[in-house]
Amino acid sequence: MDYRHLRLVALALLLFAPAVAFSQTSKVFETSKDSLLALAVYGANKELINKGCAFSVGQELAATAYELVANADTVEGTTARGKKIKVEGIVAVDRNLGVAILKIKGDLPVLKLGNSDNVTPNMKIIGLGPNEAGEIVSAEGNVRQIARKDSSLAIFTASLAVPAGFSGGPALNENGEVVGLIHVVERGGVGIIPVNTWQAQIKPGRSTEFKNWKKEDYLATLEGALLVGKIHTLNEDWGNAQKYLERAIKINPNLVEVQYELAEIYSRQRDFSSAVNAYRKVLEINPNLGEAYFGLGSVYVRMMKWSEAIAPLEKAIHLGVQEQEAWRLMATAFEEMKNFERAAEAYEKYVSFNPPEAWGAYLRLGLCRLELQQFEAAVKALEEAQKRKPDDIKVNYSLAQAYQKAKQYENAEKTYRLLAELSPADASSYYGLIVRMYDEVGQYERAVEAAKKVVELNPTSEMAVYNLGIMYFKLERYDEAIAAFRKALEIRPTYEYAWYQIGYSYSRQKKYKEAIEAFKKFVELMPDSYDGWFNIGVSYLLLKDFKNAIEPLEKAVELKPDYGIALYNLAIAYLNVHDNLSAREIYKKLVSVDPGLADKLKKFLR
């Protein structure tokens, strides 16, 4: 069976219990049940080895599932009315399809054969077969998955909830025509072999008695393992599919289609090591199978073996297989490898296919361009992402960052404001980013407006009010800065840095007495801050109060002995109170701490 050319169509399921039959199902059942036999299959020691079903397809001919009778010594059939029918032997077998044509003694009504090429997705299917008690019953469901070989129907499944006894029974359409033969496998999986593929076996001929038939365990053969493995695959029972396909590979390791199917199953079950080995085996047999290169590359991506993924994905693209997805996976691998140039190229290729969810790729492309510091290109990509996903937080945040780095500050601000609308809980953070952006580029007026918005959103946040004060300070609007810092102190009276900035603002206004009082408040809260003591001392110096400058400057030097500018100013204070000896001692220290300041001080020493 050529698995490589089978394509699957996944369909919705619809299950119906056989106990409550619809009128059409009842009609089909009543007109068809007398064509069925409940089979009892016995081995050489007269032990019961199988139960199943057969149905009349010609004069003294019945079709059934080959696995039921492959090991039979004798077979008995019972009609829906309880009549025993002798089953004499096997007329024909299609081992690939698991279908046997049996010779029966006695005529049963022949079921009409339909055209299985007319089977369509979700089409109603009626199954007939014996229940556990051996009574012929019906079940209905819908076509679930269809596998095709080239353009012909090869096998299909249906949502028939049936017991194992339905194996060998007919699958009928609503007109009561046979469209397939039922195989029931482990876990209740159902596979239906289309009637068009096996009806050529229905022809009169000599039968071989069961006792003379070369007995075999059909499911242990290559054909049986392939058939049941495929049925399990279509039913997405990956564990059993793996079991049977591995059995087939053990018999013939060179079946490239089966190796490929196994690789896909291993991948689905996250057995990546086995998947890699299976794909490699496929490529040993057929080095030009693009699907296997793609599968191998995608497994390496899932294993996060980024560098190993590149070569097979490139080969898949070269062979024209899954190009769109291969470019996406390759872009992911290059990005994880920090090869942002190659990643960006791959994302560009991927989005050129115009995939339905392209926004994610445009986002990744934009982030790669940001890493490459290609800010205009990043903006272009992220704008494409935003067009497709206008309300996505990650997309808009990345776009705002790109605008900022591309110096498109108004666009960045606009996007940060959009983010604040999209996520009100984080609005103050986004306005804070606007403040920081304009602060970094010296556009303090715009920073003030954003900082006001942060305060509006967080009126009890001393940090928000403090930051507004900082922006006023940078604009040299010192009165407004001081007012903001005092507002921060109203919110948190122990906010030491607010006092520091008040002192600094007064110093800029040359209001040194007020500055001293503010810096004193600061060192009350932070007594180990040498900067605080230094600013008190310098403020006294600027007031020419040299005597009062000495103590805070000494404290600053005590806290930071290598504080060159404090040492220099302390020496100046000593000189102005005529303490040359102390000034010279400071000079000796300053020589090793800051030779430049030491030379400057030396000019004033007597």
The domain boundary residue, chosen from 183, 216, 249: 216
Ramachandran bin of 100, using left for φ above 0, alpha for ψ from -120 to 50, beta for the remaining angles:
beta
Instruction: Report CA-CA distances (Å) from 256 to 1, 68, 283, 575, 604.
Output: 11, 29, 8, 97, 95
Sign of the CA dihedral 558, 562, 565, 571?
Answer: positive
**CA angle centred on 251, ends 247 and 256, rounded to 5°:** 85
Domain annotation covers residue 345: no
> Which amino acid, one-letter code, is at 135?
E
The answer to whether residue 511 sits within a structural domain is: no
Strand bridging mode 99-105 / 61-65:
antiparallel
**CATH number, position 568:** 1.25.40.10
pLDDT at 151: 58
- The CA distance from 585 to 603, in Å, is 15
pTM: 0.80
In DSSP terms, 325 is beta-bridged to none
Residues 6+ apart with CB under 8 A from 30: none
Residue 409 within any structural domain of the chain: no
Residue 606 has a pLDDT of 75
Length of the chain: 606
Measured in degrees and rounded to the nearest 5, phi and psi for residue 61 equal -125, 140
Res 152: pLDDT: 60
**pLDDT at residue number 410:** 97
Single out the residue in 158, 192, 216 at which a domain terminates: 216
In a domain, residue 362? The reply is no
Residue 564, domain extent: 528-606
Long-range CB pairs of 428-434, under 8 A, 24+ apart, other chains included? 428/454, 428/457, 428/458, 428/461, 428/464, 431/457, 432/467, 433/400
Structure tokens at 506: 């007064």
Residue type, 582: S
On whether the CB atoms of residues 508 and 476 are closer than 8 A, the answer is yes
> Is 583 within 8 Å of 554 (Cβ atoms)?
no
Q: Is there a contact between 414 and 404 (Cβ–Cβ < 8 Å)?
A: no
Q: Is 48 a domain residue?
A: yes
Give φ, ψ of 120 to 5 degrees. -125, 160
Asked whether the beta carbons of 574 and 586 are under 8 A apart, the reply is yes
Q: Is 539 among the domain residues?
A: yes
Spell out a b/e string for 450-470, using b for 16 or more CB atoms within 10 Å of the CB, else e: bbebbbebbeebbbbbbbbbb
Q: Residue 89 and residue 210: Cα distance in Å, rounded?
A: 5
Which mean pLDDT values do the consecutive 10-residue runs of the chain (606 residues) have? 37 34 81 97 95 96 97 96 95 96 94 95 96 95 87 83 96 97 95 96 93 95 96 95 96 94 96 97 96 98 98 97 97 98 98 95 98 98 98 98 98 98 97 98 97 96 97 97 98 97 98 97 97 97 97 97 96 95 94 94 88
CATH number at residue 62: 2.40.10.120
State the helix-helix crossing angle for 222-234 and 256-268, rounded to 10 degrees: 40
Domain count within the chain? 2
The answer to the question of residue 464 being in a domain is no
Closest CA to 336 of 369, 301, 362, 312: 301
State the alpha helices, DSSP H only, in 492-563: 496-508, 512-525, 530-542, 546-559
Question: What residues have CB less than 8 Å from 498, skipping those under 6 apart?
Answer: 462, 466, 469, 485, 486, 488, 489, 492
- Out of 198, 216, 234, pick the residue that ends a domain: 216
Q: Cα separation of 166 and 160, whole Å?
A: 10
Rounded distance between C-alpha atoms, residue 512 and residue 367, angstroms: 51
Q: Is 476 exposed, middle or buried (0-12, 13-18, 19+ CB in 10 A)?
A: exposed
C-alpha–C-alpha distance, residues 143 and 11, integer Å: 8
